[in-house]
Structure 1
């Protein structure tokens, strides 16, 4: 792979790093800004989930601007929104402005979650596309770990420590914005607007040994299929099957409760009796586990297969969630038991659902409805993410002695087990098959 190809991929992947950082940094900051603003359970849920509302709008709304103005230009806008959100949240004088800037950050996350993988896929040669796209997921996991680590090292910086946690995101956001000035526009978008000369120049730069005219012809065919797909209905045969599976993949990926673990782990550990410093320190361990097992999944996904990873992962997560629920329900939360259970849970999630879901959403849909199908699957993912994130502190506050946490994780355990049966019954294997083979075999 050429240097410019790697550079452009890494720059685009910073969108994933900021995605992970923005959604996870609130974990360690939560106890401090919750106390500063004197938040109720409902307002705590809204303060956290307001960013996820922005994610939904950003992910759904960025498609058309991305087509009109280009992936690179809209990634610049996303970087600017990350920067504004980081500074605005950190300096917010009251809760309403805090929520507004969290929402702006959510818009940036939603846009980056769509545009960064698309940009990478459109500059990458076919032989390297899979590995290059996965850099986005890897960057996302790194962003989560970095956010947890930053939270931990800023704990003892005084009463404004939570402000510094949020403002720290401005550093990678500014770097993202400046580095985007160095990358080219994607060749596929250039072809969409009819600038074949510029498209060829970009392809030569990132893949000089390729058959340029062959790639141009493939892009033209792909654009034609996409235009034809706009006439097809997602909820009518033969597309209905793929649409429902895509929606359910998005739903079950969030019914595992992963959002609760990464947004509220600090509060969960504090509810179990740990100090705030210790609780935030333990989230760093969870972030490191997430990174290690994501890398493991990257080495296994094309060898073991998507379905087998999901089978092992959903069973392992369901058991871990069930034991975690039992621990809180019975009050058996002393020592390092909870941390051990959550380490097992995160390991099972990262090595299965975390790595597989977005790969599946990119594979299971027929070519002519792929972009709309992916958007719908992602939309269902964000909807459940936002809903359970808002409801969790309310449910916890409605019960005493940690039983609300126990009931919540029992629900996640049951839903994850249902996910196992869904994948076993309805999901088809996509490993080592071309996109055309997947479509032909399952229609």
Structure 2
């Protein structure tokens, strides 16, 4: 087998971690309603459950770098894959709410698979394939998200149609466990496959294990290039030992010549997460239930989210070096704003009326008699309607049956709102989603990335956790109009804030980018 093909295969195996991450991150979206009903959760408890992996990754980000340097990339990836698998098993078997949260936090500790996978691929992939293979890692994340939506939809459909296999597995009672358990096999496959990839030669050189590095290089590199590459690694690492101490990097980041880079990184870190992407991705069925189509329709619509994500992520990968970073990001933020304004308008013009005929169509477990005071009344917002439901049914029954009752009561342009949501998904994955990571790798010189990228990833992850935690409460207390209007304002503010500072980095070397940024120094 060609040596470069071997390196390609090793990189692809490691990139499977992106798929497992996407699957783990999105599969929880389908379980929200079922877990809420089984454990009687409040909005804040739901927020804690969904955001628990995001809080877990905050700690993991601090440990991943030192662990990679101490025990190696391969062993770190194996530990991460093991945590994914254990998290999937314990999530599916969780006996109670606390157990489920703890299992999901463990999965969050493994979310560093994104950065560690990218690190390994960058160090082992042939130069001409390096960019594409790192991009494959990003694409695998989106494919994992899409797979999660497909799995959730198929399980719900099988349960609703009483498919023989679903009845045999008692799917109706344990559907959320099967959703979470769908990650077990992919995580196990990735875990086993990692034992067959070699350690990163660069890490072996870093640890002074030159002969071991040469043996691996013989498997993936032409023999006449090994000596030169090993020498280059040693020179680079020696230079890094002098220049890349954590304190030196922090001092350098605070220098005025890095001011523009830091400003851009902070703005895009905040704007990316406050745009509402994880509110949509992690609560997709819950969001679509607000459109009045019912639970089954909501799960079907989540599949469109996954497909749109794949198409526009691929478009971003193909076009970023042609269109440039600056126009794609600025246009993307404006696109985000317009998409959310469409959604806000759709919810603003919606009304909710529970007719006598609609009451008869509700599931038998809904207390129809308690709904009599609401019959014939028209509510001009989802918040007013939900408050009335809580008043007549009580908080827990209202949360449990809200989707079914909204499906029979809502009068809105659901197609318009659905189009707005899918437009936002497209805008995000075409611009600020993947391009934030591209900018992080370009704005900062190699000597500062060890501190800069983890720090801004931490900023992004912290905001992501807050968004996931607060969204159920926001949906219950602010309503669709206010939520999407807020996200639209974030898009506009992000575009206005980054406009004066964002450089065009297309086709520029790291050194040329640094010179351009220094000319812009405030």
TM-score after normalising by structure 1: 0.95
1:54 aligns with 2:56: yes
What's the counterpart of residue 176 of structure 1?
Answer: 190
What's the counterpart of residue 229 of structure 1?
Answer: 244
What's the counterpart of residue 444 of structure 2?
Answer: 365
Give, in angstroms, the shift of residue 174 of structure 1.
0.2
RMSD over equivalenced CA pairs, Å: 1.6
What's the counterpart of residue 287 of structure 1?
Answer: 306
1:147 aligns with 2:148: yes
CA distance in 2, matches of 1:352, 1:286: 16
| CA offsets 1:245-298 (integer angstroms, 9 cap, x no match) | 222222111121111110112111112212111101101111001001111111
Give, in angstroms, the shift of residue 210 of structure 1.
6.7
What's the counterpart of residue 348 of structure 1?
Answer: 427
> CA, structure 1 residues 414+38, in 2 after alignment: closer, same or farther (shift >3 Å)?
same
Give, in angstroms, the shift of residue 163 of structure 1.
0.3
CA distance in 1, matches of 2:436, 2:291: 31
CA distance in 2, matches of 1:219, 1:438: 23
1:24 aligns with 2:26: yes
What's the counterpart of residue 337 of structure 1?
Answer: 416
The answer (yes or no) to whether the contact 1:226–1:367 under 8 Å persists in 2 is no
1:196 aligns with 2:210: yes
CA distance in 2, matches of 1:330, 1:199: 65
Give, in angstroms, the shift of residue 159 of structure 1.
1.7
| CA offsets 1:177-196 (integer angstroms, 9 cap, x no match) | 10001100011111110112
> CA, structure 1 residues 209+333, in 2 after alignment: closer, same or farther (shift >3 Å)?
farther
The answer (yes or no) to whether the contact 2:258–2:517 under 8 Å persists in 1 is no
CA distance in 2, matches of 1:83, 1:19: 11
> CA, structure 1 residues 350+134, in 2 after alignment: closer, same or farther (shift >3 Å)?
same
| CA offsets 1:182-225 (integer angstroms, 9 cap, x no match) | 10001111111011222223233223277223322332233234
| Equivalent runs, 1:8-407 vs 2, <5 Å | 8-109=10-111, 111-155=112-156, 156=159, 157-208=171-222, 211-227=225-241, 228-230=243-245, 231-232=248-249, 233=251, 234-331=253-350, 333-399=412-478, 404-407=479-482
CA distance in 2, matches of 1:263, 1:58: 20
CA distance in 2, matches of 1:417, 1:288: 26
How many residue pairs get aligned? The number is 438
CA distance in 2, matches of 1:139, 1:5: 18
| CA offsets 1:18-53 (integer angstroms, 9 cap, x no match) | 111111001111111111111001101111111110
Task: Mark the runs of 5 or more structure 1 residues left unpaired by the alignment.
Answer: none
1:436 to 511, 514, 520: 511
Choose 29-38 or 330-339, whichever is displaced more.
330-339
| CA offsets 1:399-437 (integer angstroms, 9 cap, x no match) | 4xxxx2221211111111122123321111111112222
> CA, structure 1 residues 393+104, in 2 after alignment: closer, same or farther (shift >3 Å)?
same
The answer (yes or no) to whether the contact 1:89–1:167 under 8 Å persists in 2 is yes
Choose 332-341 or 264-273, whichever is displaced more.
332-341
Task: Mark the runs of 5 or more structure 2 residues left unpaired by the alignment.
Answer: 160-170, 351-410
TM-score after normalising by structure 2: 0.81
> CA, structure 1 residues 210+409, in 2 after alignment: closer, same or farther (shift >3 Å)?
farther
CA distance in 2, matches of 1:210, 1:370: 31
Where 2:195 maps in the other structure, the secondary structure is helix
Give, in angstroms, the shift of residue 378 of structure 1.
0.6
The answer (yes or no) to whether the contact 1:225–1:368 under 8 Å persists in 2 is no
